[in-house]
Amino acid sequence: MTIAAGFVHRDGIVLCSDTQQEAGASKYHGAKVGIADIPYGKIAFAIAGHADFAITALQSCSAKLADVDPKDTITVLSEVLDSEYRRLVLTHPLLKEDHSLPYWLLIALWQEKTKSCSLWVTQENSLHCCFDPFRAVGLGTDMANVIVRPFADDALMFSEPQALTLMAYMMARVKDTVPGCGGVSQYISIRNDGNASSLINLSLEEIEKVSALYDKAAHSLLLSMNDDDDAVYNRAAMGFISQALAVRENWKRIRRTNPEVRRFLGMTNEERLRQQP
């Protein structure tokens, strides 16, 4: 069932997904995000659930939207997604027995005419615009909401790097905790200026690696709040600060000493995209 999520920030939208896919008794990894140019502008997506069915639906959408008048984009998109979900899932002979058949789509649209982005989500065969700045789909939704929802009111003050950091932390905790969610995290950025690209970011990988340590240190600090002994609280506070500083220094060391990291950080998003295997 996996996890996919979208976050609207001041400069555009970030989509992310894990890469774990399952079929019967098999588990494998594959891409579940993508970008395409359409007459409307650009479309980006992230999927959760039955990957093959979701990709089939998206391929049908891409084919239909390639020649659609921009003003008819949402109507055609809704019609195709409705038709494909009914065909692939709702009329499937094993629908009642096989709970792996459903899928969800998160869609980010960039409209060339207005130079703006919007976030859309499917629920079964319906498509609707998200008025909240954050939306998650898939089995990891509840955990994702616990982590990201407290920041929703401040979302439009977030820069893209801040949004990516929050999403990386969320993805790490979901993959650590929720069955069926795993593999490498993938990120796509679609911006109000029309730039759209897949992102590889080594700093996001570092955030994922240390997220559990941060959680433990933060929880230790919280649990010590109710202790009457100030020394206990002070030790917890210093422990949290020490952990944060150690991680920061480690990342600075990596940037100083690893030529591949330095080269990567100097690339544009388009150059980083070309470095993907």
Q: Which residue has the tokens 């609280």?
A: 233
**With b meaning 16 or more CB within 10 Å and e meaning fewer, what string describes 150-187?**
ebeeebeebebebbbbbbbbbbbbbbeebebbbbebbb
Please write the tens of the pLDDT for every residue from 150-179: 998 999 899 998 999 899 999 999 998 998
Q: CB–CB of 180/20 below 8 Å? A: yes
Please write the tens of the pLDDT for every residue from 61-110: 999 999 999 999 999 999 999 999 999 999 999 998 988 899 999 999 99
Query: How far is C-alpha 73 from the chain's CA centre?
Result: 24
Q: Distance (Å, rounded) from C-alpha 232 to C-alpha 220?
A: 10
- CATH superfamily label, 3-199: Aminohydrolase, N-terminal nucleophile (Ntn) domain (3.60.20.10)
Please write the tens of the pLDDT for every residue from 213-260: 778 888 888 888 887 888 888 888 888 888 778 877 877 776 677 665
What is the per-residue pLDDT for 58? 94
Q: For residue 100, report the phi and psi dihedrals to the nearest 5 degrees.
A: -90, 0
- What tokens were used for 152? 């929703």
CA neighbours closer than 13 Å in the CB half-sphere of residue 65: 27
What is the per-residue pLDDT for 147? 93
Q: Distance (Å, rounded) from C-alpha 198 to C-alpha 200?
A: 7
Q: For 133-150, what is the mean pLDDT? A: 94
- What tokens were used for 211? 């997220």
Q: What percent of the chain has pLDDT over 70?
A: 87
Please write the tens of the pLDDT for every residue from 36-61: 999 999 999 999 999 899 999 999 99
What is the per-residue pLDDT for 276? 45
What is residue 160's three-state secondary structure? helix
What is the per-residue pLDDT for 247? 74
- What tokens were used for 262? 């330095």
CA neighbours closer than 13 Å in the CB half-sphere of residue 234: 3
Sequence spans of domains, the chain: 3-199, 203-274
Q: Distance (Å, rounded) from C-alpha 35 to C-alpha 91?
A: 29
- What tokens were used for 16? 């992310």
Q: Distance (Å, rounded) from C-alpha 134 to C-alpha 13?
A: 10
